[in-house]
Amino acid sequence: MTLQGLAERSGLTKGYLSKVERAQKAPPYSTLTKIAAGLGIEITTLLAGDAMPRDVRLFLSRKDKRELIRETDQFGGYDYEILAGGKAGKNMEPFIIHAPWDISRTYTHEGEATIFVMEGQLEFHYADEVMVLKAGDNVYFDSVVPHVGKSLGDKKAKLLVVIYFYKRNH
């Protein structure tokens, strides 16, 4: 696929995609979802590569085998544990996310999401609303609305996040 073709399918500019391709720009998660949709692949393929088999109906994620993608500028300060990277044809992307203490930008992406706070506290911003979520709390939302979360306290909040993305036909 050409950069122009991906630009048309993702809604991003050819120049921006060129910078991403040459590692001159680190896209946020919301932009990675657009790139993945434009390529017709799942976001976890971009995050974790394609080392696992993709033709399984059931995917078991063992804790000791899961990949942890450490905090980088590319992922907005979040650590990600990919829970179903090898599962083909999924409509949801489950992660365990360790939220940063600082937030520099909000995120928007197609679909819906749910966040369950496993440990710690999360300050969650959704449009103009700000709420504090504690361990055991859950929020479910339309993810096209700008949103972001940051950890409160001495320990990063550990979150179970499931993102449902609308499949596009290209």
State residue 41's pLDDT score. 75
**Would the pLDDT of 19 be above 90?**
no
What domain range is 91 assigned to? 52-164
**Has residue 101 been placed in a domain?**
yes
Between CA 81 and CA 99 the distance in angstroms is 12
In this structure, the number of other CB atoms found within 10 A of the CB of residue 161 comes to: 18
Question: What CATH number does the domain containing 133 carry?
Answer: 2.60.120.10
**Has residue 9 been placed in a domain?**
no
Between CA 122 and CA 151 the distance in angstroms is 5
**Has residue 4 been placed in a domain?**
no
pTM higher than 0.75 for the full model?
no
Between CA 27 and CA 17 the distance in angstroms is 9
In this structure, the number of other CB atoms found within 10 A of the CB of residue 156 comes to: 21
**Has residue 30 been placed in a domain?**
no
**Has residue 116 been placed in a domain?**
yes
Mean pLDDT of 66-94: 74
pLDDT band per the 50, 70, 90 thresholds, residue 17:
confident
> Under 8 Å CB-to-CB from 130, ≥6 apart: which residues?
123, 124
Kindly write down the DSSP assignment for every residue of the chain, as one continuous string.
--HHHHHHHHS--HHHHHHHHTTS----HHHHHHHHHHHTS-HHHHHH-S-S----S-----GGG--EE---GGGTT-EEEESSTT-TT-SEEEEEEE--S-----B--SSEEEEEEEESEEEEEETTEEEEEETT-EEEEETTS-EEEEEESSS--EEEEEEE-PPPP-
Mean pLDDT of 31-49: 73
**Would the pLDDT of 117 be above 50?**
yes
Tokens of 102: 């600082």
> Is 92 or 170 the better-scoring residue by pLDDT?
92
> Is 127 or 44 the better-scoring residue by pLDDT?
127
**Has residue 136 been placed in a domain?**
yes
16, amino acid identity: Y
Our count of domains for the chain comes to 1
**Has residue 38 been placed in a domain?**
no
Between CA 6 and CA 34 the distance in angstroms is 10
Between CA 166 and CA 145 the distance in angstroms is 15
**Has residue 79 been placed in a domain?**
yes
